[in-house]
Amino acid sequence: MGRVETAGHNTRRFKIGDRVGVGWINSACGKCRFCREGNENLCNDFRATGRDADGGYAEYTIIAEDFAYRIPDAFSDSEAAPLLCAGAIGYRSLRLTGMGDGDNIGLVGFGASGHLVLKMVKHKYPQSNIYVFSRTESEREFARELGAAWAGDFEDAPPGRLHCAIDTTPAWKPVVAALGNLAKGGRLVINAIRKEQRDKESVLALDYARDLWMEKEIKSVANISRKDIGEFLALAADIPIKPEVQEYRLEEANMALRELKERKIRGAKVLRTDI
C-alpha cells in the first residue's frame, strides 16, 4: 500500500500521487498458455512480491503498472493491505468452491482469510449457512460474532452436510475431517501453500467410502491472478468489507509472526513502516 512516487514515460493507468496497492502477484510472463487463458497464477514465470521480488516489507517498491491496483477510498491503508493478500486469495478460494446461495459452506481454520471469506459469503450468499472449524475457542467466538451459524472444533460434527469447504490450515487432520463432512458431490478447496509433515499420518485415516466416494472433490488454490484481486477490491468496496486489523511496527514483525504461530489471531495483522 502506498502512493505513486514516480512513474515511467509510458505509464497510462496511474499518475504521481495516486493511491495504489501491490498484491502477491508481482509479474507473470503474459505469453504462456496459462497466462493467455487467464490462469496467470499458474504461470511458470510467476513472480511473487516479497519472495521473488523486493517490496513485501519495504518503504519503496517498483512495479509494472499492470500489476498495481487503485485502492478504493473506503479503505485505510491498513484495511487495504489484508484485502490485497488474504482477502483476494479468499475470494479466489470461494470462487473455486463453485458454491451457490443456500449451499452450506465450511471454513476450516479461521484466520485472516477465513474471516474475510465469511463476510463475503454473508453478502453474496445470504441463504447459506456458514460452519466454522477452529481449534481455538477465541477464533470460534469471533466467527459466531461475525455471523457463523455454527462453530466447533475440527472433529466436531456440524449441524448439516457441507456442499463445499475451504481449508486454510497447515495440517492434514482437518482435511480428512472436512472430507468426511462433505455432502455428495461436495468440493474441498485447500487454500494453503504447504502442509506440515507433523500430522501427515492422519491421512491414513482417510476412508474412501466415507470421505471420497460419491464424487467428492479436492482442489488446491495456488497464488492469485490480477483478475481475482481487481474483482475482489471492487466487491469489498461494494459490500463493504472492512477487515479487522491489528497493526504492528516493522520492528515488531517477529512478534507478529510469533503470534501467528501461536494462533493469537483476530482478523489480519498489518506491518506499518511509517509508525
Minimum CB separation of residue 107 from Zn ion in Å reads 31
Judged by beta carbon, residue 29 or residue 250, the one nearer Zn ion is: 29
Over the window 133 to 162, marking each residue x when it contacts Zn ion by CB under 5 A and - when it does not, the resulting string is ------------------------------
Put the strands of the sheet holding 217-220 in their side by side order.
Answer: 150-152, 130-133, 105-108, 162-167, 182-190, 217-220
Q: How far is residue 217's CA from residue 92's CA, in Å, rounded to a whole number?
A: 17
Using CB atoms, what's the residue nearest to Zn ion?
A: 43
For Zn ion, the binding residue among 1, 22, 43, 165 (CB under 5 A) is: 43
Q: 238-265 burial, b if ≥16 CB within 10 A, otherwise e?
A: eeebebbbeebeeeeeeebeebeeeeeb
**Contact between 32 and Zn ion per CB under 5 A:** yes
Considering only the stretches 31-39, 165-173, 200-208, 240-248, report the one whose residues sit in contact with Zn ion under the rule CB under 5 A.
Answer: 31-39
The count of chain residues that interact with Zn ion, using the rule CB under 5 A, is 5
CB of 34 to Zn ion, least distance (A): 5
Q: How far is the CB of 48 from Zn ion (least distance, A)?
A: 14
Which residue's C-alpha cell is 474412501?
A: 208
Exposed/middle/buried for residue 126 (C-beta within 10 Å: 0-12, 13-18, 19+): exposed
Q: Considering beta carbons, is residue 34 or 75 the nearer one to Zn ion?
A: 34
In this complex, which beta carbon is closest to Zn ion, that of residue 30 or of residue 98? 30
Pick from 217, 211, 267: nearest CA to 99: 217
Question: Out of 7, 29, 53, 250, which residue is the one contacting Zn ion (CB under 5 A)?
Answer: 29
The span from the CA of 269 to the CA of 111, in Å, is: 10
**Cα four-point dihedral sign 255, 196, 156, 108:** positive
Which member of 1, 22, 25, 35 binds Zn ion (CB under 5 A)? 35
Other residues' Cβ atoms within 10 Å of the Cβ of residue 208? 8
Q: Map residues 113-132 to x or -, x wherever contact with Zn ion holds by CB under 5 A.
A: --------------------
Least Cβ distance, residue 133 to Zn ion (angstroms): 35
Contact region with Zn ion (CB under 5 A), list: 33-41, 101-109, 130-138, 217-225: 33-41
Residues 6+ apart with CB under 8 A from 101: 124, 125, 126, 127, 128
Q: Is there a contact between 166 and 94 (Cβ–Cβ < 8 Å)?
A: yes
For residue 89, the minimal CB distance to Zn ion (Å) is 19
Rounded least distance, CB 35 to Zn ion, Å: 3
Report the Cα 92 to chain-centroid distance in Å: 7
Which of residues 39 and 136 has its CB atom nearest to Zn ion in the complex? 39
CB of 42 to Zn ion, least distance (A): 8
CA pair distance 119, 199, nearest whole angstrom: 30
Binding site for Zn ion (CB under 5 A): 28-29, 32, 35, 43
